[in-house]
Copies of this chain bind each other. A is one copy, B any other.
Amino acid sequence: MSTQIWTRLDYDRPGKQVGHLHLPHSVHRSAYGNIVIPLGIVAGGKGPTLLLTAGTHGDEYEGQIALTKLLRNIDPKSVNGRLIVIPMLNAPAARAGMRTSPIDGANLNRAFPGDPLGGPTAAIAHYVSSVLFPMADAYQDIHAGGSSLDYLPFVSVRQSGDADLDARAMAAARAFGAPLIQVWGYSPDPRLSTAESNRQKIVSLGGEFGGGGAVSRRGLAIVERGLERLMAHLGIMAPLDESPPPPALEVEVQGRDHYVYAEADGLFEPLADLGESVLAGQPCGNVHDPDDPLRPAALHLFRRDGMLVCRRHPGQVRRGDCLAHLAAPRRG
């Protein structure tokens, strides 16, 4: 079964086109309705195809803004190759300001390679996997921590097991020029978008550029400048200047013990800050229960040494929530 998603745009036409993907969605309020997903195509000259997506999670905004500005401002005459740009890939989630789709409750970044006859989220994943990835030479899916996590901004690479592909991805990440590069060396879930693009042998970048459901001015500046450098690295655009990207710290998440999970419900008082280097056994934070003020706070410790790159944003936590995660200096 092939995709039911359609568009009036033409992926092969030179110039700048901005329009929509239409995902048929027959529901009570519209028997012949469509979920509409903004799409931009900018093509010119000879060169590779770079696919850029944001809004895979609807409450991560730096990428959505950066790609909107990119489409608005880019001059197609400056392009060699092709950009396919989707600022809010899970459009229903993005319109709702939610991580997950309000229609089917699904998390798009746990839905790859997708299903053309599944719910809207699965159908979007399937379109990316079956139509867009086969056209792409390089891919970046731009993330942030969303409503529940604060992240130190970084560009990231997910290890594919293919050394050549990983090396090309790492070169692209370095060209991107973020102050921090994170390697996901531990990721059991095969349903992420970059897990699928890795399987299709596309040079793939991720990145977390802020969090808490807010817009980070610093994260936005990093991603806007990084996209310019990435397009220059790929030969799609001329570089803005000839200076090399600034040197970056390279770190790696190596396993479950890099994460701290809440062992009690309550309010989380953090005891370490993003960017701080911590030692195993050092306090990560307390969980207090204002419903029982005399109950002792639940103290949570880090299980490993590392740099604090991610911390829970909301004050309220439930047992099982991730409170923080670390990254260690990259091995080898």
Interface residues of A (CB under 8 A from B): 1, 4, 6, 18, 20, 22, 24-36, 38, 40, 54-55, 57, 59, 61, 64-65, 67-69, 71-72, 87-88, 91, 94-95, 97-100, 107, 109-110, 117, 145-150, 188-191, 212-215, 217, 220, 256, 259, 261, 267-271, 273, 288-294, 296-297, 312-316, 318-322, 325
Contacts and interface: CB of A to CB of B under 8 A. Distances in A.
B217 A273 contact: yes
Given A1-B190, A87-B293, A97-B316, 13 more contacts: A31-B148, A31-B322, A34-B261, A38-B290, A38-B291, A54-B290, A64-B290, A64-B315, A68-B267, A72-B294, A150-B214, A213-B316, A217-B269
Contact of A59 (B28, B190, B296, B312): B28
Contacts of A55: 290
B320 A146 contact: no
30 contacts: A1-B190, A22-B261, A22-B320, A24-B189, A26-B110, A28-B100, A30-B312, A31-B146, A32-B148, A33-B148, A35-B320, A38-B293, A54-B290, A55-B290, A61-B316, A65-B269, A65-B288, A65-B290, A67-B290, A68-B267, A68-B288, A68-B293, A72-B297, A97-B315, A150-B214, A212-B214, A212-B313, A214-B313, A214-B314, A217-B270
B321 A149 contact: no
A99 B29 CA distance: 8
A33 B321 contact: yes
A295 to B, nearest CB: 8
Contact of A31 (B32, B35, B72, B99): B99
- Candidate in A31, A94, A271 with the most chain B CB atoms within 10 angstroms: A31
A302 B214 CA distance: 20
A38 B67 CA distance: 31
A1 B117 CA distance: 21
Contacts of A270: 215, 217
